[in-house]
């Protein structure tokens, strides 16, 4: 049965997955880039950046596992870019250049739809104004039997958690304090409906895997 999965979602010790004041110069908000330092120390992370080297250890393997058997991606508009409100034009095509790393249909949740955006390498961005349930249905149809990955940002992950739609949730707890920004745990308590399935500390981060409580 295909699943909706969240992988390598980096969170600070105080629960923030992005810093304040996201902008074109600070895609993850002020200080938020520290949440992903561990990614770019891995071989897989450096390869995604087109750079040699990197650590082949457990963080690398966990990072790579997030892309296994994924047939479609869902993200919020804040993850796609810093533009807010009505699109002034269609010149913004994401943070990833001409060849985004997804290589499949990617559904961007927004209140302001725009035409589909095909990119090099097989990624097509679809801008959809609908409920999490309806967007997930579209993504599963596109994935054709494979899993769907929920990429973020924070508000989007919270919406899908609150709706009980996420099957597997992997958090990477990074040993930094951000103090403000976008906090994952707001209005969620202790992730109701989910149980901690596994955890691993690598020194760089602590990995936590949650599954639906009814799956136990």
Question: Is residue 216 over pLDDT 70?
Answer: no
Q: Is 105 helix (H, G, I), strand (E, B) or coil?
A: strand
pLDDT of residue 48: 86
- Cα 121–chain centre separation: 20
As beta bridge partners, residue 128 has 109
CB 208 within 8 Å of CB 8: no
Question: Is residue 188 over pLDDT 90?
Answer: no
Pairwise CA distance, residues 207 & 10, whole Å: 9
Q: Is 39 helix (H, G, I), strand (E, B) or coil?
A: helix
H-helix or E-strand spanning residue 67? none
Of 203, 209, 168, which Cα lies nearest the Cα of 59?
203
Pairwise CA distance, residues 216 & 197, whole Å: 9
Pairwise CA distance, residues 77 & 93, whole Å: 11
Question: Is residue 215 over pLDDT 50?
Answer: no
CB 139 within 8 Å of CB 74: yes
Q: Where do the structural domains in the chain lie, given as residue ranges?
A: 4-18+30-81+100-215
Range in 120-129, 160-169, 171-180, 191-200 the model is least confident about:
191-200
Per-residue pLDDT tens over the stretch 80-96 = 999 999 999 999 999 99
Predicted TM-score (pTM) of this structure: 0.94
Per-residue pLDDT tens over the stretch 38-53 = 999 999 999 988 899 9
Question: Is residue 178 over pLDDT 60?
Answer: yes
* Number of other residues whose CB lies within 10 A of the CB of residue 27: 16
Q: Provide mean pLDDT across the span 119-132.
A: 97
The CATH number corresponding to 4-18+30-81+100-215 among 3.40.430.10, 1.10.150.120, 3.40.920.10, 3.30.70.920 equals: 3.40.430.10
């Amino acid at each position: 049965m295909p699943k909706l999965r969240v992988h390598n979602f980096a969170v600070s010790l105080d629960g923030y997955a992005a810093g304040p004041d996201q902008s074109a110069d600070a895609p993850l908000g002020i200080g938020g880039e520290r949440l992903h330092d561990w990614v770019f120390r891995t071989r897989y992370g450096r390869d995604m950046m087109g750079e040699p080297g990197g650590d082949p250890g457990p963080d690398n393997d966990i990072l790579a596992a997030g892309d296994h058997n994924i047939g479609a991606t869902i993200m919020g508009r804040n993850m796609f870019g810093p533009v807010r409100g009505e699109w002034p034009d269609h010149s913004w095509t994401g943070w990833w250049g001409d060849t985004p790393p997804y290589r499949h249909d990617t559904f961007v949740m927004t209140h302001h739809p725009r035409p589909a955006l095909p990119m090099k390498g097989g990624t097509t961005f679809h801008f959809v104004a609908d409920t999490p349930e309806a967007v997930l249905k579209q993504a599963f149809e596109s994935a054709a039997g494979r899993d769907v990955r929920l990429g973020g940002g924070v508000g989007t992950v919270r919406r899908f958690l609150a709706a009980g739609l996420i099957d597997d949730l992997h958090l990477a707890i990074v040993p930094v304090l951000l103090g403000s920004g976008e906090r994952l745990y707001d209005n969620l308590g202790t992730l109701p409906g989910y149980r901690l399935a596994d955890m691993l500390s690598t020194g760089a981060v602590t990995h936590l895997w949650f599954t639906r409580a009814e799956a136990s």
